[in-house]
Structure 1
Amino acid sequence: MAKRRLEFSLPLLAVIGIVLYLAVLFSSSYLEEDSPHQETLPDLPTVTKQQAGEAAVKFTQQTFQLSPNHRVSTLYQSHAERSGYLQKEDLVGTYAERFKDYPIDYYEVEINDDTTQATYYIDVNFTNLQILGWESYTPKEAKQPVAAPETGDAQRVAEQTLQSRGYQVRQFERIEPAPEEHPPDNSSAAAGTLFVYQSKEQAIGKAKLQLKVTVQHSKATAFHAVFDIPASFRSWQDEQNDNASTMTRISLLFSLGMALASFYIVFRYRREITFLTGLMLTALFLVIYIANNFNMVPALRTSHSAGPSQWETMFNLWFMNIIIAIMAVSVYFAFLAGRQMWLRKGWSPWPLWHEPGFSRRLRTSVIQGYLLCLFILGVQQTLFFGAEQWFDVWAVNDPSDSVLNMVYPALFPLMAWAAAISEESVYRLFGIPFFMKMIRNRFLAVLIPSMIWALSHTQYPIYPVYTRFVEVTIIGLIFGYAFLKYGFLTVLFAHASMDSILMGLSLMDMGDVPHNLIGGFYIVFPALLGWLIAWVRDNTRKTPHGLTG
């Protein structure tokens, strides 16, 4: 009887999750239609990156002395600070109606002139190819010694630049740059004389439109139209980001302590441990994560400083790969130590490849994982909806994590497996028995690793940052109790299925048919993979001893 109740609970939870998910979708649609200032989603690109690159090259050839020997790369960028201010002040709909010529999201084209060593960053509207702004940078050693113009001449160049961009100078007043001038979003600081012109009338909330022109050697080397975000919002957001950084450091500190503990446990019980256990899953985590890092090279370039972004990006890429390799070691030891701790308690958290019943258990775990995934998705969407409606929670686009900044966006959902393998092994398989041994309280043993896991998610661009901590902690509790009830394979597939679905939907949001099909494939991919592994196991005569599924 107990077994039947156990099997019945997951389908019931899945139904509850689907109901919650649909209820949130219906409520969100109703509230948007009922709102007098309906928020609009960011526009999707309607021109290709190649077209944006060609428009940027044409502009640079007309404005600067661009040689034929140049390289072009196009990135998706976003004015994240402006987006955050608009959402916090409930001004998104108003902004979309009044300031369509100043899009939040756009293409940034980097042009590297190999002859002059100059670097140009050209901002291009990704719906109509309009040039929104630019910035040029030339290393000092590559510059010709040209005398700087008088201030009056430089101001004349600045105002001529504004007029050429379609602005009436009389509608603006020149102001002195702030002592600590806040640079435009995603810009590199160009040398020269900076002129700031503030609109006498145009503003969104307390953020006034400003035009910033940098003049050097009788040429406008940089131009940006920005909105001067109030200092109060910047201070608030800086404080939020500092809090997120602190919470992330706390998570890293506790995770490091758990990793050291797993090393000790493996060393202590090394004679009882089968060291092939977890090796394949760890290798899969490492391969997927490093491949994803290479896939994210365009995203890494979005955080460039002045000058070419390539070398800075390559340094960050290999630094990340080293960190991931260290993480893989900790994941491997979490597998070994976690399984050993459970075996000493008389419970095997998952069957090994060579053990009887592996295929049957794997197929069952796939089904249970999808059912649990549906429930968690419903809970997550309900938490997001409640946070948005009652706690003024909002999110901004993050170009450094966007599928639009990936070499092959179709590979992105594979990261679902890297996240599931690492997080379920560290915070459930090992974390729960580790804290259970320390504090001897089952609830706290599930809660504490869930909180440590949640703290590592607070640097996502969702504000206030504590909301992600609450949300992920609740999800961690669900995963934790599901692990205790159904075993490791179930939560592994639940986690992978959940992330695969969400990442697949992000591909479908790109709007084109190929990515719609690929996104749909990833929604069912965990099930296909699980059943394929079970089929291979059933049809394999010689089974390697000690390997996991």
Structure 2
Amino acid sequence: MPNKGSRPPLWLAVIGLLLYFGLSYLAPLFQDHNDLDGEAQAAPAISKAEAADLAIAFADHKFGLSPGRTADTLFQSNTVRSGYIQKEGLEEEYRNRFEKRYPIDYYEVEIRDGQATYYIGVNFNNRQVISYSASKAPTAKTEARPAAETDASSIAVSAVRDMGFDPAAFTLAGSAADKRPPGEFVFVSKTERIGEAPLELHVQTANGQAVSFRPAFPPPESFTLWQQMQDERSALMTRISLFASLLMALAALILVVRQRKQIDFARGALLSIVFLAIYVSNNYNLMPAFRTMHGSGPSEPDAVLYLWISNIYVALMALSSYFALVAGSRLTLDRGERPWAVWRDADFAGQVKQAMSSGYVIALFILGIQQALFFAATELFDVWAVNDPTDSVYNMLHPEWFPLLAWSAAISEEAVYRVLGVSLMLKLTRRPFVAVLVPSVIWAMSHTQYPVYPVYTRLVEVSVIGIVFGYAYLRYGFLTALFAHAAMDSILMGFSLMYSGDDRQAAVGLAYFFAPAVVGWLLHRLHGRFKPRSPSNPPLRHP
């Protein structure tokens, strides 16, 4: 029987630190380019408020705004363009030729003025307006126009000129073959392209004026089909993971109902409530991120609907986590082991303190392993990732709340895939490796929807991490796996704040590196002061 009182050797943490910092130092020597995605991207040079002022001035000049207009600034990213230039190894060329005028990442200001909504793209590095669109065509301005500029094509040409481009450097593409709606024009550059993607200027006209302007580098069809195939594989793996997780949840429910007289229903309740509270708070924190998925009209109504749907889903996840913890603790007793310590146990303080320190050892080891996997994937399999505006700290109401999500991830994923998943597979197979491997693969499949390509590399990476977590659970117990997961995610999410370009956020991000240690220390101290009057280390119970 594994000795749950033992500690992982410190050399695991040493190996993890050496791998992490060693490969972080070596990576730039092997990579010629990694500046266009993820954390390497430069922080915005202007604030959201400054971007809003620039956008309002532009929209007021072009369309005319009422005094009652309101504006919100979102962080956006040209994810498809970023993916194409990374897959084809064109980052350096794009950075040198196009990044200043056509940034991958930019601010998008949403202006609401009565029944009309305007989206103004602002380059946050040089304060230039790069795109605009109106959801409801404003009434045409009344100033006199030359006769030659009264038709839609002439208006589109004027819009191109007004945005600082020379129409003579572009060819007006035909509209019949592309089946574009009336009033939409595409100007294709005669000289500017990146790889097989030419520069295009998309202009929409209505009511005698241009109501939309957008520069684009549409990738070739071969890339579009490849990415579509990757996304379909990711969606399939996500569905498989969801189905398998539902089967585990059903098994947990059946076990709880059948053995309800032997079930400790209080165990896991507090953790599930903590998960729910943090995750719901995070959903509200992500309201700006939800708004980035807007259509042509105002973004807030759809974002509110998405928020409520997300909260319902999270409530179901909390319920699933609770039943996973309850059923998993029963399965732990059935195999002759004591479940994790809870507050009413006399040794809770000591168990938490040990789990916290052991968890950091495991977390540092996993961070090193993950860095090695990233390095190998990038160098051997041409792996790349794109920014996701829906997961960016720039699209959060309170970025400093973000790393708290580490605890929600740790609670739910360790409950479902370790306490329940590993215990179920042990009961079915009696083989520890299979019991650890199968839930790890199911867990990894649910992570393939992240914008990392090719998608199978994410499956391999998270499966390996899951195996480490699984053995940590079997060898050192649930609390150690919980603290290890929370510490690893707190550090990674803390890095997101440190790269935000805000000194205060950077300090908060650094503090989150030690948040799980603080939680463990506080629980240890509080339990030592207010510990139960009578010890309650229950003997093993069997039905």
Length-normalised TM-score, structure 1: 0.92
1:450, 1:163 → 2: CA distance? 56
Asked whether 1:91 is paired with 2:90, we answer yes
Amino acid at match of 2:446: S
Q: Deviation at 1:443?
A: 1.1
Letter in 2 for 1:173: T
RMSD: 2.4
Matched to 1:200, the amino acid is K
Alpha-carbon distance in 2 for matches of 1:302, 1:518: 25
Residue 542 of structure 1 deviates from its aligned partner by 4.8
Q: Distance in 2 between matches of 1:546 and 1:377?
A: 37
Aligned twin of 1:413? 403
Structure 2 CA distance for aligned equivalents of residues 434 and 57 of structure 1: 58
Looking at structure 2, the residues matched to 192 and 467 of structure 1 have their Cα atoms a distance apart, in angstroms, of 43
Runs of 4+ in 1 over 4 A off after TM superposition: 2-6, 37-40, 149-152, 177-182, 541-547
* Count of aligned pairs: 528
Q: Which residue of 2 aligns with 1:298?
A: 288
Q: CA deviation at 1:356?
A: 2.1
Change in CA separation of 1:459 and 1:537 when aligned onto 2, cut-off 3 Å: same
* 1:534-545 correspondence to structure 2 within 5 Å: 534-542=524-532
Report the Cα offset of residue 128 of structure 1.
2.1
Write out per-residue CA displacement over residues 387-428 of structure 1, whole angstroms, 9 at most, x where no aligned residue. Answer: 000001000000000000000000000000000000001000
CA contact (8 A) 2:417 2:440 kept: yes
Indicate the residue corresponding to 2:222 in structure 1: 232
CA deviations on 1:45-65 (whole Å, 9 max, x unpaired) are 010000101111111110002
Q: Distance in 2 between matches of 1:77 and 1:249?
A: 28
Q: Which residue of 2 aligns with 1:380?
A: 370
Q: 2:277 aligns with which of 280, 287, 291?
A: 287
**Taking structure 1 as reference, are residues 315 and 544 closer, same or farther at Cα in structure 2, changes over 3 Å only?**
farther
Whether contact under 8 Å (2:346, 2:531) holds in the other structure is no
* Matched residue type, 1:203: R
Asked whether the 8 Å contact 1:353–1:545 carries over to 2, the reply is: no
- Residue number in structure 2 paired with 1:176: 174
The answer to whether the aligner puts 1:19 opposite 2:18 as a matched pair is yes
Indicate conservation of the 8 Å contact 1:396/1:461, yes or no: yes
Whether contact under 8 Å (2:418, 2:473) holds in the other structure is: yes
| Higher relative contact order structure (alpha carbons within 8 Å, sequence separation ≥ 6) | 2
In structure 2, what residue type is equivalent to 1:248? T
**CA distance in structure 2 between the partners assigned to 1:253 and 1:415 by the alignment:** 24
Q: What is the distance in 2 between the residues matched to 1:217 and 1:305?
A: 21
TM-superposed deviation, 1:511: 2.0
- The reply to whether residue 422 of structure 1 matches residue 412 of structure 2 is yes
CA distance in 2, matches of 1:351, 1:14: 25
CA deviation after TM superposition for structure 1 residue 265, in Å: 0.6
Retained in 2: the 8 A contact 1:286–1:328? Answer: yes
Partner deviation per Cα, 1:412-458 (whole Å, 9 max, x = no partner): 00000000000001000010111122233221111110011000000
Superposed displacement of residue 92, structure 1: 0.7
> Paired residue for 1:155, among 153, 156, 159?
153
CA distance in 2, matches of 1:403, 1:73: 16
Tell me whether 316-325 or 430-439 shows the greater mean CA deviation: 430-439
From 451, 460, 464, the counterpart of 1:474: 464
User: How big is the shift at 1:280?
Assistant: 0.6
1:153-232 → structure 2 map (5 Å cutoff): 153-177=151-175, 193-232=183-222
Q: Counterparts of 1:102-501 in structure 2 under 5 Å? A: 102-114=102-114, 117-138=115-136, 153-177=151-175, 193-501=183-491
* Counterpart in the other structure of 1:76: 75
Separation in 2, partners of 1:242, 1:315: 26
Residues 272, 150 of structure 1: CA spacing in aligned structure 2 closer, same or farther, 3 A cutoff?
Answer: farther
Instruction: Report the secondary structure of 2:214's partner residue.
Output: strand
Q: Structure 1 pair 489/197, CA: closer, same or farther in 2 (3 Å)?
A: same
What secondary structure sits across from 2:495 in the alignment? Answer: helix
Instruction: Provide TM-score, normalisation by structure 2.
Output: 0.93
- 2:14 and 2:42 mapped to 1: Cα distance? 34
Answer whether contact 1:451 1:469 (CA < 8 A) is retained. yes
CA deviation map 1:80-130 (0-9, x unaligned): 00000010001111101001211000000001112xx00000000111221
1:503 aligns with 2:501: no
The answer to whether the 8 Å contact 1:354/1:543 transfers is: no
Structure 1 residue identity aligned to 2:23: V
Letter in 1 for 2:82: S
Query: How many Å separate the matches in 2 of 1:333 and 1:13?
Result: 33
Note the alpha carbon deviations across 1:179-206, whole angstroms, 9 max, x for none. 5679xxxxxxxx7511111001000111
**Distance of aligned partners of 1:368 and 1:92 in 2 relative to their CA distance in 1, 3 Å threshold:** same
Q: Which residue of 2 aligns with 1:188?
A: none
**Aligned partner of 1:31: which letter?**
F
Structure 1: segments with no counterpart, 5+ residues: 183-190
Identity of aligned residues (%): 45
One-letter identity of the residue aligned with 1:94 = E
- Mark the CA change 1:167 to 1:432 in structure 2 (over 3 Å): closer, same or farther: same
Change (3 A) 1:68 1:181: farther
Alpha-carbon shift at residue 162 of structure 1 (Å): 1.1
1:75 is paired with a residue whose SS is: strand
1:82–1:229 Cα contact (<8 Å) kept: yes
Residue aligned with 1:288, SS: helix
Deviation at 1:303, TM superposition (A): 0.6
